[in-house]
A and B are shown apart, each in its own frame.
Chain A
Amino acid sequence: MKKTINIVVALVMAAGMVSCGDNSQRAQTGGKGGLATNAAERVYVAPGEHDEFYAFMSGGFSGQLGVYGLPSGRLLKVLPVFSQNPENGWGYTEETKPMLNTSFGFVPWDDSHHPDISQTEGVLDGRWVFINGNNTPRIARIDLKNFKTEEIIEIPHSAGNHSSSFITENTEYVVAGTRFSVPVPQTDMSIKDYKGNFKGALTFIKVDQETGRMNIKFQLMMPGFNYDLSHPGRDKSHGWFFFTTYNTEEAHSLLEVNASQNDKDFIAAINWKKIEEYVNNGGGKKVPANYAHNVMDEHTHVATSTMMKEVLQVNPLDVPGAVYFLPTPKSPHGCDVDPTGEYIIGNGKLSADLTVHSFTKMLDAIENEKFDGEAYGIPILNFEDILAGVVKQPGLGPLHTEFDDKGNAYTTFFISSEVVKWKVGTWEVLDRQPVFYSVGHGMIPGGNSRKPFGKYFVALNKITKDRYLPTGPELTQSAQLFDITGDKMELLLDFPTIGEPHYAAAIPGNMVAPNSRKIYRLNENKHPYGALNDSDVKIVREGKEVHIYMNMIRSHFNPDNIEGIKVGDKVYFHVTNLEQDFDVPHGFAVIGANNAEMLIMPGATETLVWEPKQVGVWPFYCSDFCSALHQEMQGYIRVSPEDSDIELSWSLGED
């Protein structure tokens, strides 16, 4: 009898296990946090409710900028920046193509890395996001009213635009530092002659406070090191900028060995206010350059690309007291400044320790000339004299440090795959949490300002592996959200991201959402080919070029019947969306288009070029479901042989 009971009880237990098969499997693979805590509740944003933060996360090799909600980790939008985007026609339409123009011609992709949100008096202000294109050096400005890339400026004399795009605390400047030093000006020379001949350009781009327009104010021509990352001084150190360097050995081959020889590399401390004053007084030297400056006009909806031919260069030796080197062990990667502006952290990626420099001691060392030699004429400050402290052996491979609003710092460790929380000032380690896997940057909303919002920490990971359902050898990228309000960091959520999430920047939703544009006003549309009402609708032939002034509203195109187009023509569909209501974009797609479809926002005009190659009657249609009669939103365009004499004609609703 007892045996029977045992069997039955065992059966009951087995049943329980089987019926909850999914859950037990999850528990085994590390989900115990979900059972032990209310983590799910803390990241749950109920249907219809909004996230607390916008997080702008670099699109990595997608060249774009991902917008996520925190704490949910929901992807809200991919903003096209440096890469063409067939989802909405960015970089394919005639209006947006100039945005991707460079001195190398049309470059429709890049590798985007470090977004930074504009600030006023060291506090996030929600006007713009800046992000760098790493490969073909560029800086983009995204307007947060429109969530649209409004401006892209190419950086001459730069290569691997990596120590970018960080802003000063009133958004006076956005900086773009070169990772690879190169011959300046570029020239045909032996690579072996690198040492002493290549230069590293640190570019300071002035930002107009009204319009946001960027213009290169000066380029500081530094020795031929690699300039890895940078951060502005803030509060007491406002007016200075700090750049990490590696390869102070100036190796040009096998850098993984040859650029790791020196015990210490440098953080370059740049007094930009001093250089600005020098430049304003006529200092610096104008040199020939060739770089594109691309601007989107909000009213014409058309971008223009201007080739700039000159740039102002500054030799650091010509501005005494403006540039110093802070010795920092060992190939430092991230360069981070705490919210008070006092501490400059060098994350020596090949060192076991974190080095913290003191700004106050730095000023003192400069004043009392506590130098330890010089490099290419630039004074090197004495390491011991500027050292604030060392975080002893917190982990392996420190890369980046962020700060909360309670005097704590959070450093990411790539090799030991963890985040370590430590106390600024005492340098004691308070907590460590593993991440999955191999974290690069970390991000706290506002962590790059005087006033961080110390609620969440986002780990931007380099390896995804087994965290999601596998999708073949190529996986999505991965971020992880920690709650940092308590003594211990608490892992709440994994979420996938586009491209590789290098750096990110986040801001409370209520600082941006109230200003978010809903529509473009038709009466402000100054597009040269806009058909703002039906009496503007027309088709004009100029030789082989045919311009169709078309408009659209739920649920028709005007015109929707077009004849008189010939094989070999270049047809410009200039399409205006006449809607004046929120969230009623229309799409435009035409068969055989060799570029993309395009999305047209209410009140905007966009242009798609179509070069018909085949005789026939071809349809076009709206590609964004717009109304109950969306499927009826279509038209036909007749294409006749090249020698046809059929006249141009167009109509809507006529027999």
Chain B
Amino acid sequence: MKYLLKSIAVIAIISMISCGGKEEKKNDAPTPIGVQKTETPKKVETENTVKPSQRVDLTNKGVGPVKNVELGETIDEAMAAKGAEVFKANCTACHKPTKKFIGPAPKGILERRTPEWVMNMILDPEGMVKNDPLAKDLLQEFNGSPMANQNMTEEQARQLVEYFRTL
């Protein structure tokens, strides 16, 4: 009986201080950033020293609405001209046709990427960065500067690809 009483008393005391206990926890110092860093496993990526922008991958179609694009034998000049206009109105704030600016130059892009990948990157850059490993690596290479979604139509994206062929 005495034992029982004692234990009830202990419970009572514990429940009395239980609120205080919580508050103490709040006062804990945040985990130092340095500690977190050492806990992160180091990524081993020795096999891939080529910059993501220079990597050649002509099979990856990316992730997005565009599944299959057939490029014509010759460049469709009318479509390319439309693409040039779209490029000027929506892309030049970050891309110059032939040299790196905020983002990479589109010149020669189709030697390294499929047209589907290029169009998916234009149409859904957020989705690509999330789901396409290469797009994710590119974001790193370009300082975490995200490609803006300019709300292009699929037709406009196709015109841009045709324009890129002329560069």
Contact = CB atoms under 8 A, between A and B. Distances in A.
A11 B146 contact: no
A8 B92 contact: no
Interface in A1-54: 1, 4-5, 8-9, 11-12, 14-16, 18-19, 21
Given A18-B19, A19-B19, A533-B88, A551 B93 contact: yes
Interface in B136-167: 143-146, 148-151
B75 to A, nearest CB: 24
B90 A12 contact: no
B7 to A, nearest CB: 10
B3 to A, nearest CB: 12
B145 A555 contact: yes
Contacts of B145: 554-555, 627-629
A211 interface: no
A558 B93 contact: yes
Given A8-B5, A21-B19, A534-B93, 20 more contacts: A5-B5, A8-B8, A8-B9, A11-B9, A11-B12, A15-B16, A19-B15, A19-B16, A19-B18, A519-B151, A522-B90, A533-B92, A551-B93, A553-B94, A556-B102, A558-B93, A578-B93, A578-B148, A581-B148, A628-B146
Contact of A629 (B1, B8, B9, B143): B143
Interface of B: 1, 5, 8-9, 11-13, 15-16, 18-19, 88-90, 92-94, 101-102, 143-146, 148-151
Contact of A628 (B5, B144, B148): B144
A627 B144 CA distance: 9
Interface in A549-578: 551, 553-556, 558, 578
A311 interface: no
Nearest to A581: B149
Given A534-B93, A535-B88, A8 B146 contact: no
Interface string A100-130: 0000000000000000000000000000000
Given A19-B16, A522-B90, A554 B146 contact: yes
A45 B93 CA distance: 40
A581 B150 contact: yes
Nearest to B126: A581
A525 to B, nearest CB: 11
B105 to A, nearest CB: 14
Nearest to A551: B93
A580 B146 contact: no
Nearest to A552: B93
Contacts of A15: 11-13, 15-16
Given A555-B145, A628-B144, A12 B89 contact: no
Nearest to A558: B93
Contacts of B19: 18-19, 21
A615 B18 CA distance: 62
B103 to A, nearest CB: 11
A21 B19 CA distance: 9
A18 B5 contact: no
Contacts of B12: 8, 11-12, 14-15
